[in-house]
Amino acid sequence: MKNLHDKLKSRGVASLKDEELLALLLELSVDSHDHKALANKLISSCGSLSQLAQTELPKLRMLEGIGLKGAESLLLASELGRRVASESGVGVDSINTDSDVERLMRPLMGSMQHEECWAIYLTSSNRIIEHQRISQGGVQATVVDHRLIIKRALELLATQIILVHNHPSGLAEPSSADKTLTQKVQDAAQLFDIRLLDHIIISRESSYSFRRHNLL
């Protein structure tokens, strides 16, 4: 491990490969004769560093015998990274493209194990007034009341809305329920001269924009 510590000191943490970074982290909390081999086994077992970071504690502590302390250390490191990434979205104060929405929301939703629906409320000039969780559900679905979305828009005097929800267990393709919700929100919004700009679905690997696919 000395060569990894030397690499860290001389070339910086960004120079470390995934398995090297993980090995140094494991060294702090796991007793092992070969932390580099253990790191490689963990990444191989989960498929990627990203998938490893999203593994829940009960399963994680059983992987390759890293134990509770090692599993907790990995979860803490993952959550620290998520929160740092989330702060990077704080600077997004207006929405011009679906990429802006993803930059704002992926740090919040990209690694969730459950489904949530959020609404972003905007002025007529696309400035963000507020982004708010509308509902929280399970792995497969969440129940959304479109009336609550419109009610909050009226309270904020918002003239535009963007819906965002995640698909934690699948691809970022809209279900029939997603399409129905979009239509309900759009119809209700139009009654008050509020525009539904987009509905964006975020999965772990990709995203889907209703507007980009001409569904809005």
Q: Is the pLDDT assigned to residue 140 strictly greater than 60?
A: no
CATH number where 157 lies: 3.40.140.10
Considering the chain, what percentage of its residues have pLDDT values greater than 70? Answer: 91
| Last-in-domain residue among 64, 86, 108 | 86
Q: Which helix (H) or strand (E) holds 30?
A: none
What is the DSSP secondary structure assignment for residue 173, as one 8-state letter? Answer: -
Domain total in the chain: 2
Answer yes or no: is 169 within a domain. Answer: yes
Q: Is the pLDDT assigned to residue 22 strictly greater than 80?
A: yes
Q: How confident is the model at residue 84 (pLDDT cuts 50, 70, 90)?
A: low
CA angle 136, 142, 146 (to 5 degrees): 95
Place of tokens 């507007």: 211
Q: Which helix (H) or strand (E) holds 68?
A: helix 67-88
Q: How confident is the model at residue 126 (pLDDT cuts 50, 70, 90)?
A: very high
Place of tokens 């120079």: 15
Type of residue at 1: M
User: In which domain, by residue range, is 59 found?
Assistant: 2-86
Q: Which residue has the higher pLDDT, 88 or 198?
A: 198
Helix, strand or coil for residue 60? Answer: helix
- Tell if the pTM clears 0.85, that is, is over it: no
**pLDDT tens per residue, range 168-181:** 877 899 999 999 99
